[in-house]
Structure 1
């Protein structure tokens, strides 16, 4: 990949936007809020349904901006490749959670996978923060939201187990 300083600004923005959109689209198509999900006992602190798409849209937009900021601030192609790899891994883990929770109807497995997702976000914050403080700050709502999602996921497991 070309060093950031030699690439037109619109290219990484377009790629990051497409990657964020694709992750959201795939995760959204896997998410099934049908009878199984409705039948689950949920904790009292579960946000209202309309909050979820607003939160995720905001988070994916912030992730795209954070990725571009870190990638453009990278001083070597190795660093920029690492940024891309970390965001790709994070996107995979994000989609995998939806697959485990909604399609496989395994909130118990999804919780443990969510721990990996949380660690991937923490890694992004630390790694990208060394390159771009802005990038790290933009990722803070993501880790906060996934922390809340983890508490929700854990409570769903606790209130509804066993699964499978």
Structure 2
């Protein structure tokens, strides 16, 4: 009988842990964000297009094959964003804050990094200001986020 209770309790603990696992995350400025990963050309091209909202503690992490100057645009993006650029060492090297949505298709402006970047994190507009982010801030990747080797 006690074995059945222990087994049941073990199963409940495992189910609870699985329910609380929300997938990949990053930590920035002492705050954790659940992120979607865009690590190939198709995912990076689509990004957050056609989304009408994003949870406050969510974002999208773009992983590029190499560190170089990056430029992002808001084509078909319906929510304002902060676009944060990080180098190979995962240090913040450039910020584009409060970037507005754009419905002008190919006429949407680009928002470039001011320095070479390897990783780009898009968060809801206002998050960078709320975290008081300054260039040089570090981003931490949670388990399950794999970056290709530095090229």
Question: Computing the radius of gyration over CA atoms, which structure comes out larger, 1 or 2?
Answer: 2
TM-score by length of 2: 0.25
Task: Report the structure, 1 or 2, having the larger helix content.
Answer: 1
Between 1 and 2, higher relative CO (CA 8 Å, sep ≥ 6) is seen in 1
Task: Report the structure, 1 or 2, having the larger strand content.
Answer: 2
